[in-house]
Amino acid sequence: MLHLFEPGEVNVTEIRDSATEKAGIDVKVLRFDEAHPVISGNKLYKLNYFLETAVSNGVRRLVTFGGAYSNHLVATAFAGSQLQFETVGIVRGEKPRFLSPTLLACESYGMKLTYVSRSEYAERTKARMPVFDPVFPEQLVIPEGGYHPLGAEGAAGMMDHINLLRPTHICVAIGTATTFAGILRKAGDATVIGVPVLKNLTDTHNRLFYLDGGKKMGKNIIWNEYHFGGYAKRNEELIEFMNRIYMQHHLPSDFVYTAKMLYAVFEKIKQGFFTKGSRIVCVHTGGLQGNQSLPPGSLVF
C-alpha cells in the first residue's frame, strides 16, 4: 500500500446496551471515519492501487466522476494534491448556484470540476472503462466510486485492521459494492454482511463477480431492506436513530451510508439474528461530511 493515508491504528467504539447484553454478543464499530477529517475512510483504501498504477505509468492527471456530495470525488482531489497529480472531476448535473461543501473541498484541493447533464453523466459512467489507456498516456481514469477490481484490492487493505478484532461477522454499507468485495476477499471464516443503501441494487452478486474475477468467495449475506427508500433518502426514524446512538454510544454516523448499516444491525440484534458469542465488527466507512446537506439542527452532533 502507498503509505499516504494508512492509519497506524483505528479506534474502536464498543456498543453495549440491554439488547447486546440479552443476546450475549460483542459489538464493535471500527472507526475508519477518524482516519482523516475530510476524506472517508474507505475511499482512501479504494484509491490505493489506482494511485500506484498512476505513479508507475507516469501519468499527469487523474480523471473521475461523482455527484455534488460524492465522498469519492473529494478523496480523489485530496490524493491528487498529495501526490502532485492534476485532478479533473466530472460532476453529475448542472453547476449549482452555490457549490456544496464537498465541491468546495474538491476545488480547495485543486480539482478542476466539469459539469455534465445527468444523461451525459449516465452515458459516460455506464461503460466499464480501461483505467489506463496507452492512447492517452497522460491520464488515468478512475471509475465512479472506484468500482473496479483495483478498487476492491485496495479496500481489502482494511482487513488488516478488521481481522485484529477476530470477528465472526463483519457488517458494511454497500454503494458500488467495491468495499464489500475487498473485505470479502480476506474475511476468512467470518460472515460478511452487506447493507445496500440504494433501492435497486439487486445485482450485488454480479458486481462481486466483476470485482473479484470469479474467485472463490467467503460467506456473505445481503440485507436488502434497509435502504430507507433509496440513495440519500431518509426519514425521521433514521435521524432519530442517529441522534440516539450518538448520545448513547458517542457514535456519529452519516445518513447516506453508515447510519443505514448500523440501523440494520441494531434491528437484527433485537430480532435475535446473532447467536450467543458472536463477535460483530461494524465497519465505519466515514462519510460524515455528507451530513452537511441536512437541514441545520437535524443532528445533535
Ligand X SMILES: *Cc1c(COP(=O)(O)O)cnc(C)c1O
54 or 75: whose CB is closer to ligand X?
75
Shortest Cβ 176–ligand X spacing (Å): 3
23 or 201: whose CB is closer to ligand X?
201
20 or 102: whose CB is closer to ligand X?
102
Shortest Cβ 48–ligand X spacing (Å): 13
167 or 252: whose CB is closer to ligand X?
252
Shortest Cβ 145–ligand X spacing (Å): 4
Pull the grid cell for residue 228.
Answer: 430507507
Q: Write out the DSSP string of the chain.
A: --TTS--S---EEEE-SHHHHHHT-EEEEEEGGGG-SSS-HHHHHHHHHHHHHHHHTT--EEEEEE-TT-HHHHHHHHHHHHHT-EEEEEEESSPPSS--HHHHHHHHTTPEEEEE-HHHHHHHHHS---SB-TTSTTEEEPPGGG-SHHHHHHHGGGHHHHGGG--SEEEEEESSSHHHHHHHHT-TTSEEEEEE-STT---HHHHHHHHHTT-----EEE--S-STTSTT---HHHHHHHHHHHHHH-----TTTHHHHHHHHHHHHHTT-SPTT-EEEEEE---GGGGGGSPTTSS--
72 or 169: whose CB is closer to ligand X?
72
Pull the grid cell for residue 105.
Answer: 473541498
Q: Which residue is nearest to ligand X (CB)?
A: 287
Shortest Cβ 132–ligand X spacing (Å): 21
Shortest Cβ 60–ligand X spacing (Å): 26
16 or 199: whose CB is closer to ligand X?
199
Please check whether residue 131 is in contact with residue 142, taking contact to mean a CB–CB distance below 8 angstroms.
Answer: yes
- Residues lying near ligand X in the complex (CB under 6 A): 40, 42-43, 71-72, 145, 173-180, 254, 257-258, 285-287
Shortest Cβ 168–ligand X spacing (Å): 22
Shortest Cβ 70–ligand X spacing (Å): 8
23 or 74: whose CB is closer to ligand X?
74
